Amino acid sequence: MVATAPTEERIWQLLEEVTDPEVPVLSILDLGIVRSVRVEGEQVTVSITPTYSGCPAMNVIATEIRLRLLAEGITKVTIHNQLSPAWTTDWMSAAGRRKLEAYGIAPPVDGTATGHVLNLFGKDTAVRCPLCKSEHTHLVSQFGSTACKAHYQCDDCLEPFDYFKCHA
């Protein structure tokens, strides 16, 4: 393959094809974790930000970005881990939210993030069941199958489900 100097636009297109290993219906652009792409000659620098500090998917995502770009003959790739500004679910695309619900994960409910403000006895967020669409659900645990999800149960269809926490 003949390597031609890639354009930033092309890199963004390729990144759209890289998915989250934990939630394979979401591209990393849907998730909002790609913060910038810089192309200088043949050198490509991609900055990504973790959803949570310890997210183990970050290494896999970095590898998949390299592999996708390598398949296009782009070999000089640097991937930076950018901490600030900290990731928020506000960066998740509308398409990403629809895909999440169709996949069986309730998308973040906007405006419910408490940020770092301590919400000790606050109400739990009302989350719609992604399966039967009932609003009668309850929080089982703030800590779910991955760092970014909480564990809910539907009071109508009784199914347990994951809720992608609103994080801002």
Kindly list the residues in this chain that would bind other proteins in the complex (CB under 8 A).
47-48, 50, 52-56, 58-60, 62-63, 66, 78-87, 114-120, 140-145, 147, 151, 167
Query: What minimum distance in Å lies between the beta carbon of 4 and other proteins?
Result: 25
Distance CA 20, CA 99 (A): 12
| Nearer to other proteins (CB atom), residue 2 or residue 84 | 84
Distance CA 15, CA 137 (A): 35
Query: What minimum distance in Å lies between the beta carbon of 58 and other proteins?
Result: 6
Query: What minimum distance in Å lies between the beta carbon of 2 and other proteins?
Result: 27
Q: Which residue has the tokens 């997210």?
A: 55
| Nearer to other proteins (CB atom), residue 24 or residue 56 | 56
Distance CA 51, CA 58 (A): 9
| Nearer to other proteins (CB atom), residue 94 or residue 120 | 120
| Nearer to other proteins (CB atom), residue 41 or residue 116 | 116
Contacts of 11 (CB under 8 A, 6+ apart): 37, 39, 44, 46, 69, 74
- In one-letter notation, the amino acid at residue 83 is L
What residues are paired with 141 via a beta bridge? 151
Query: What minimum distance in Å lies between the beta carbon of 29 and other proteins?
Result: 18
